[in-house]
Amino acid sequence: MFCIGHNEKMRAIAAWTRLCYLEVFRSVSRWERTQMEEQRPGQQVQIKADEKELQGVYSNLVMIHHNLEEFTLNFIYIFPNGTQGKLLQSMIVSPGHAKRIWRALGENLARYEAQFGAIKEAPEGGPTPNVGFVQ
């Protein structure tokens, strides 16, 4: 069994998360690029991102809510002590975009498992985190 320290594990997970995000972005953006090219042929969308944004942020919990018009994805980091956490980012997307993200994530998970093996989830019946927001 290969063991790494907490910081190395966090960096490895953050790197994998960035890679998955880029793959999801690429998969979703292919569809969006096609739509945009149909609307404005020949124009390329330029996306600005600084080094901090490209570095990414590690999240170990996501809470998802929806209503008729939108999906809200709250990306959270729960500290190792398990008693505190921090909302890192709240993303609000349309139902259509949420479905494209879901499809792209499913495709990437399938490729990941084909390359690295099945992903083990937390065992059923484990403690359910009691998470609430404070200001």
Per the model's pLDDT, the better-predicted residue between 24 and 62 turns out to be 62
Average confidence (pLDDT) over 46-74 = 93
pLDDT exceeds 80 at position 129: no
Helix (H, G, I), strand (E, B) or coil at 124: coil
DSSP 135: -
Taking a C-beta distance cutoff of 8 angstroms, is the pair 94, 72 a contact? no
CA distance linking residue 110 with residue 91, whole number of Å: 24
Instruction: Indicate whether 133 belongs to any domain.
Output: no
pLDDT exceeds 50 at position 1: no
Instruction: Indicate whether 42 belongs to any domain.
Output: yes
Average confidence (pLDDT) over 15-37 = 57
pTM: 0.62
Q: Tell me the residue range of the domain where 90 lies.
A: 6-116
Helix (H, G, I), strand (E, B) or coil at 39: helix
Amino acid at 117: G
pLDDT at 53: 85
E-assigned strand segments in the chain: 61-66, 71-78, 85-93
- Residue showing tokens 């505190």: 84
Q: What is the count of structural domains for the chain?
A: 1
pLDDT at 68: 97
